Each structure stands twice: as structure tokens, then as C-alpha cells.
């Protein structure tokens, strides 16, 4: 089964707990952070859009 969406718990785990679920909630309320979809009270993060967002927010370093 291919994962197409992550829950807030899944996303926090993906980022190794550095961003807490409560922080994601705050970001959603402020309309910042990664894109999400909402079905009733359920919040999901589309994996393809999340990966784009992560790439956009990756800081490149110089060697």
C-alpha cells in the first residue's frame, strides 16, 4: 500500500519529533507550514505536496 497522506502524528514522526503536533496545529491556524487537506475534523498532509514544501525549505550549504 502506497502512502499518499500523512497524519499530523505521522508528520511529527517523519521530522523525528522536532516539530510537535501542537506546533502543526498552530501553523494550520495561522495558514503557515506545509499544505494540508481537511476532511471534517481530520487533517491530512498530501505526501507529494509535503515533499515539495520540504525541498523549498531546504537550506543549501556551501563547501
pLDDT digits (tens, 9 = 90+) for 39-63: 999 999 999 999 999 999 999 999 8
Query: Rounded CA gap, 20 and 42, in Å?
Result: 17
- Eight-state DSSP code of residue 40: T
Give the confidence band of 37 by pLDDT, cuts at 50, 70, 90.
very high
Closest CA to 29 of 18, 38, 17, 19: 38
Q: What is the pLDDT of residue 3?
A: 84
Strand partners, 46: 5
Amino acid at each position: 500500500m502506497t502512502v499518499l497522506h500523512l497524519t499530523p502524528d505521522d508528520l511529527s514522526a517523519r521530522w523525528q519529533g522536532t516539530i510537535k503536533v501542537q506546533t502543526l496545529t498552530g501553523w494550520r491556524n495561522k495558514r503557515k507550514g506545509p499544505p494540508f487537506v481537511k476532511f471534517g475534523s481530520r487533517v491530512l498532509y498530501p505526501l507529494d505536496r509535503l515533499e515539495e514544501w520540504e525541498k523549498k525549505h531546504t537550506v543549501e550549504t556551501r563547501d
